[in-house]
Amino acid sequence: MEIQDLYIEINREIQQNKDGLIRLGRELFSCPEPGFKEVESNQILTSFLRGHGISCRSDLCLTGILATIGSGDGYHIALVADMDALVVNDGEKSYPCHSCGHSIQTAVMAGVLKMLKDLNIAEETGGRISFIAAPAEEFIEFDYRQKLKEEGKINYFSGKQNMIEQGVFDDVDCVLTMHVNGETETLFDVNSTLAGFMVKKAVFTGQASHSGAAAHMGRNALHGASLCMDAVAYMKDQFPADAGLQIHPVITECGGSVNIIPEKAVLETYVRANTLADLLEAGEKFDLCAVHSAAALGLSCRIENRTGYMPLKQSKELNEIIYRHMREICPEEKIIKNVVSGASGDIGDLGYLLPAVQFGFSGIRGRIHSSEFAIVDEENAYLHTAEIVMKTVCDILINPQLQVKNEDFKERKEFYLKNWLYKEI
Ligand SMILES: [Zn+2]
Ligand SMILES: [Zn+2]
């Protein structure tokens, strides 16, 4: 079949399935569940898939889903979607809400898999297409996740990180994802970057003492934390502005009475940067600032690390295809390009390992992550996005020259497991 005929088929397929797709989207939107609690969302999605004759695994990292079509061993495209919601507060009460629009991702990607199965494109090309619904993208509810970790149910706080460690992406060649943006004047964004971050906790320990009678006998832990804050502020100057370095420490613990030299002080911060190299360097320099500030004052310092998310750098080749299909939907001025965002996502980790794209789409009212979040342009959120993903998948499976791969996946994964995920507390 000529590619243009296939595009016509795709548009026809979307028209035929649009009511079901939007219904699925609404159903998932009204079922907001925070990370690793996406039980009902899991049921909605798996019964949708199984109802359309697609078998799936439904217990990855507690609530994640993997469904693959295509029995060949050719190029393997993963359609990745986040499943989780946030907990928002409207000024009176807190409640779960899909205020990051993840329900749109799961609905569209599951719907796309169903429609691509109808078109039989995987079987015809010998390729494979997987829908991977990942739990827990939002980095929240630490106590709950820590409990899951202690019970041995997860190893990391993010769904994708657990999935990567478990090998879910080991035979995947590229990753396609999308995420809602808060824009109102444009329809899409393409080739945006996301910052990476890591979480640091520096615990300073000194010696308590009477602050009047024997202050000189004490070793003030708060002084260590204070000196560290200064050192970190000076250290930040060693990075250029475009490194996007953000370190804003807070003192989260420094108990005791006013007549006692503080024995313990805890300083916590996120370290953020736009590239992995800068992020790793800044993390090491932060540790040096903390350890040497402590040493200078006769204190000890223990640093606890929690894995954050890697910066996202998208595949240029894949984004060229995505952009071409965006342009079939709207003029150039309706597409934002190359935004450097200070936000983060665990798609950054996947983008480090595999060629990946996460394009943005508009269609909401109210700020992202707020209780006012509402989906107002269902055509753009559900149908245009499905069209872009379907056409991109078909292009890639039909044209071998578009089948980009990270040949060094194995080495990258080794580095990732050893030098990134190991940094857990
Ligand atoms: Zn979010
Ligand atoms: Zn999100």
Distance of CA 372 to the CA centre of its chain: 22
pLDDT value for 294: 98
What is the DSSP track for 201-242?
A: EEEEE-B--BTTTSGGG-B-HHHHHHHHHHHHHHHHTTS-GG
Q: Which ligand is nearest to the CA of 179?
A: 2
**Residue 160 — very low, low, confident or very high, per pLDDT cuts 50/70/90?**
very high
CA of 139 to the centre of ligand 1 (A): 9
User: Contact, 134 vs 82, CB < 8 A?
Assistant: yes
Q: Which two tokens stand for residue 40?
A: 């009902």
pLDDT tens, residue by residue, 74-96: 999 999 999 999 999 989 999 99
Please say if the pLDDT value at position 190 is more than 70. Answer: yes
CA of 240 to the centre of ligand 2 (A): 28
Q: Which two tokens stand for residue 88?
A: 């928002």
pLDDT value for 255: 75
Please say if the pLDDT value at position 425 is more than 60. Answer: no
pLDDT value for 344: 94
Which whole number is the average pLDDT over 151-176?
97
pLDDT value for 422: 74
pLDDT tens, residue by residue, 318-363: 999 999 999 999 999 999 999 999 999 999 999 999 999 999 999 9
CA of 137 to the centre of ligand 1 (A): 7
CA of 138 to the centre of ligand 1 (A): 6
Phi, psi of 68 (to 5 degrees): -120, 135
CA of 215 to the centre of ligand 2 (A): 50
SS3 per residue for 97-134: ECCCCHHHHHHHHHHHHHHHHHHCHHHHHCCEEEEEEE
pLDDT value for 163: 98
* Residues 403, 388, 314, 162, CA torsion sign: negative
Please say if the pLDDT value at position 1 is more than 90. Answer: no
pLDDT value for 2: 85
pLDDT value for 360: 98
Please say if the pLDDT value at position 220 is more than 90. Answer: yes
Asked whether this chain's domains 3-195+311-421 and 196-309 adopt the same fold, the reply is no
Which residues, 6+ apart, have CB-to-CB distance to 61 below 8 Å?
A: 36, 134, 135, 136, 154, 159, 162, 163, 166
**Residue 424 — very low, low, confident or very high, per pLDDT cuts 50/70/90?**
low
pLDDT tens, residue by residue, 240-267: 999 999 999 999 999 778 999 999 999 9
pLDDT value for 323: 98
CA of 111 to the centre of ligand 2 (A): 19
When the pLDDT of each residue in the chain is averaged and rounded to a whole number, the result is: 96
Please say if the pLDDT value at position 285 is more than 60. Answer: yes
Which residue type occupies 144? Y
Q: Which ligand is nearest to the CA of 82?
A: 2
Q: Which ligand is nearest to the CA of 178?
A: 2
Q: Which of 260, 255, 282 is nearest to 269 (CA)?
A: 282
SS3 197: strand
Q: Which CATH code fits 3-195+311-421?
A: 3.40.630.10
Q: Which of 159, 139, 34, 37 is nearest to 84 (CA)?
A: 34
- The correct CATH number of 196-309 out of 3.10.20.30, 3.30.70.360, 3.40.50.1220, 3.30.70.370 is 3.30.70.360
- Identify the bridge partners of residue 95 per DSSP, sorted by sequence position: 88
Domain boundaries, the chain: 3-195+311-421, 196-309
CA of 160 to the centre of ligand 2 (A): 13
User: Contact, 79 vs 129, CB < 8 A?
Assistant: yes
CA of 31 to the centre of ligand 2 (A): 16
pLDDT value for 364: 97
**What is the rounded distance in angstroms from the CA atom of residue 204 to the CA atom of residue 206?**
7
Max alpha carbon distance in the chain (Å)? 90
Please say if the pLDDT value at position 31 is more than 60. Answer: yes
